[in-house]
Structure 1
Amino acid sequence: MSGAEGARSLLLTHERGAGTAVLAVDLGGTAMKGAVVSDRGETLVELTRPTPASEVVGALISLFRDLGESASGLGCRVVGAGVATPGMIDEERGIVRYASNLDWRDVPLRDALRDALDVPVALGHDVRAAGVAERLIGAARGTGDFVLVPIGTGVAAALVTAGGTVTGATGAAGEFGHIPVVIDGEQCTCGQRGCLEVYVSGAGLARRYAAAGGPALSSREIVARLGSDAVADRVWTRAVDVLAQGLNILTLLLDPEVIVLGGGFSRAGDALMIPLTARMSAGLAWRERPRVVRSELGGDAGRTGAAILAFRAAGLEAVADEWRAVIPTP
């Protein structure tokens, strides 16, 4: 069994039975993905609900309570809860400083959840939580120096060096998509020009394709047209060039052993990985590029990271460490 297959079987086994468990939610701007996760790493229950336009905290508490009832119905003892959320996060104090797609400022989310659930609660940044999971049981296991770059509607990064996650002075480290890599480039919604995600994200690719004369298509549909559509070829080539430049910047700053790519973009497979790695190598004159791989946990990485953080909040750090022991290092 490959490492990827081992990770998937560990996380997606649906054995029913009693034991210790945590509740985990990956909170996004459009959906809240929740699960009951056992101390053996098994996903016992999954619940996904749309993220409401308002009263998000109340909806999140309701989801957690429903997950807790499901856990009780299985005979599980819930020892903690974890939530991964976008935005600028003060993880030590449990406060979401700012999350634009949730319209949040200075929300004391950890305390609100702890009061409602009466168990230890962990709050983590969604991408950094995904990085915790990839390092423990995913594509970055075995290394303390890596970068996780999920590329979807937007682009961010989890930065891990010497085994520690870089959070920054304000909790905003990892805004990889808003590094201006194109001088005098196109306007970004953030107000800057030439930001990486203007060219590389799924939304950016679709917008640039339509602006160049193509029909309204998703990034996946644009990739499907490569080789037969000159406009698709042109915007894709530009996206890969910009991503290669951005990843080389990260390489020279952090010297990661491995770069893990996630999100919808990574599903382009060889259409992305072959030209990307070639252009990265060509752009690094005096050193080799790091290994570049696709995420092994995919869309479950954030929720899995939230579960790991929940076990840690409950004082059971060794539980998740045991998951790693049964998965071969790549």
Structure 2
Amino acid sequence: MTTHVVALDVGGTSMKGGLVTAGGDILLTDRRPTPRTEGPGKVIATIREFIADLAGAGETPPTAVGVVVPGPVSDNTAVYSSNIGWRDVPASDFNPLDVPIRLGHDVRSAGLAESVLGAARHQQDFLFLSIGTGIAGAMILNNTPYPGATGWSGEIGHIPVFPTGEQCACGQTGCLETYASAASIARRYTESLTRASSITPTPAPATPPTAEDVITRAERGDPQATEVWNEALEALTLALATYTLLLDPTSIVLGGGLSQAGPTLSTPVAERLQRKLTWRTAPQIHHTLLGTNAGMLGAALLAWKSTQPPTPPLDVPTHPPVP
């Protein structure tokens, strides 16, 4: 029988879970919505139920459980999540099983997975940048995710890139996330269309445009989409230039939903970054190899490290992302 762990990646919108072997093979995966509008207690109950269901789907009981969550994590405790609303939730509250559990930060754990299993394998120092509804980073230093003094490291989405720019939800002005997250790209394009229609009336879109729609329209020459996309690229490049000059990473790995844009994202970012770093070579830009499985595989790594003796996966076959 194959031994395995339960691995769960909890997001603000949905949860991705699976069973992962010590060799890195994903035996099964599943996805469920995160009921955050029903309060943190309901989310915790859903996590427990999901873990129990995943454990029951295996041929044998799991060896351990790994869970990664948004927001700071300290001493195996989920300290805070603005998206979900919980505070100081110990890992044991998530665990319905009589096996060890390890709790981790979602983006830092995804960065760890890319370090061990993915695009930055064998690189000691790199940045994993997750660009989705929001933007966050994982600093991998000497093969280890760096949490910072209080667990708040990696909040690169709140670097002010345009100091006199738009107000961010965090209270600052001109944050990277306000310009370059997938949600902000879609929002800013919609606002641009609204302003344009006040001058030249045009029919409203049948459905709200997504970031993917904006990128496609920019490639076709849509002036509003081009402006929004160029500002997003500029904001990303300014933040990455600052990071590069401070910590000198070997590479930058792009993950999250927006990374699915592929070379449409990475090529202009790499070119702009090199132009800004006039006196030195820019770090290489890579795309995630693990896709939307990165967080779940990071949770699996944490789970295997909680076993006695620790048994981290050494390799992982190619798997399609969780649908």
Offset, 1:163: 2.2
Which residue pairs with 1:43 in the alignment? 26
Residue 316 to residue 36, structure 1, CA distance change in 2 (3 Å): farther
In the alignment, which of 175, 180, 190 is matched to residue 200 of structure 1? 180
Contact in 1 for aligned 2:72/2:80 (Cα 8 Å): yes
Contact in 2 for aligned 1:19/1:77 (Cα 8 Å): no
Which residue pairs with 1:100 in the alignment? 82
Task: Determine if the alignment matches structure 1 residue 143 to structure 2 residue 123.
Answer: yes
Larger mean CA deviation between 209-218 and 149-158 belongs to 209-218
Once the two structures are superposed, what CA deviation does each residue of 1:70-104 show, in whole Å capped at 9, x if it has no partner? 11xx2x241100001001111xx211111011111
Which residue pairs with 1:184 in the alignment? 164
Aligned ranges 1:236-251 → 2 under 5 Å:
236-251=229-244
Which residue pairs with 1:29 in the alignment? 12
C-alpha distance in 1 between matches for 2:104 and 2:77: 10
Offset, 1:106: 1.3
Contact in 2 for aligned 1:134/1:297 (Cα 8 Å): yes
Task: Determine if the alignment matches structure 1 residue 168 to structure 2 residue 165.
Answer: no
C-alpha distance in 2 between matches for 1:89 and 1:126: 9
Q: What TM-score, normalized by structure 1, do the two folds share?
A: 0.88
Task: Determine if the alignment matches structure 1 residue 81 to structure 2 residue 61.
Answer: no
Which residue pairs with 1:111 in the alignment? 92
Offset, 1:47: 2.1
RMSD, aligned α-carbons: 1.5
In the alignment, which of 209, 213, 218 is matched to residue 217 of structure 1? 209
3-state SS of 2:234 partner: helix
**Matched residue type, 1:86:** P
Contact in 1 for aligned 2:17/2:29 (Cα 8 Å): yes
Offset, 1:316: 4.6
Task: Determine if the alignment matches structure 1 residue 126 to structure 2 residue 106.
Answer: yes
C-alpha distance in 2 between matches for 1:118 and 1:263: 33
C-alpha distance in 1 between matches for 2:132 and 2:94: 28
C-alpha distance in 2 between matches for 1:127 and 1:209: 27
**Matched residue type, 1:169:** A
Which residue pairs with 1:58 in the alignment? 45
3-state SS of 1:213 partner: helix
Contact in 1 for aligned 2:115/2:143 (Cα 8 Å): no
Offset, 1:206: 0.9
Which residue pairs with 2:135 in the alignment? 155
- Number of matched pairs: 301
Contact in 2 for aligned 1:161/1:254 (Cα 8 Å): no
Once the two structures are superposed, what CA deviation does each residue of 1:40-73 show, in whole Å capped at 9, x if it has no partner? 22211222111113311111111111111111xx
**Matched residue type, 2:235:** V
Contact in 2 for aligned 1:89/1:96 (Cα 8 Å): yes
Contact in 1 for aligned 2:73/2:105 (Cα 8 Å): yes
3-state SS of 2:83 partner: helix
Task: Determine if the alignment matches structure 1 residue 308 to structure 2 residue 301.
Answer: yes
In the alignment, which of 216, 219, 223 is matched to residue 230 of structure 1? 223
In the alignment, which of 300, 307, 310 is matched to residue 317 of structure 1? 310
Which residue pairs with 1:276 in the alignment? 269
Q: What TM-score, normalized by structure 2, do the two folds share?
A: 0.90
Once the two structures are superposed, what CA deviation does each residue of 1:199-243 show, in whole Å capped at 9, x if it has no partner? 000111111111112653100011111232011111101110110
C-alpha distance in 2 between matches for 1:22 and 1:176: 31
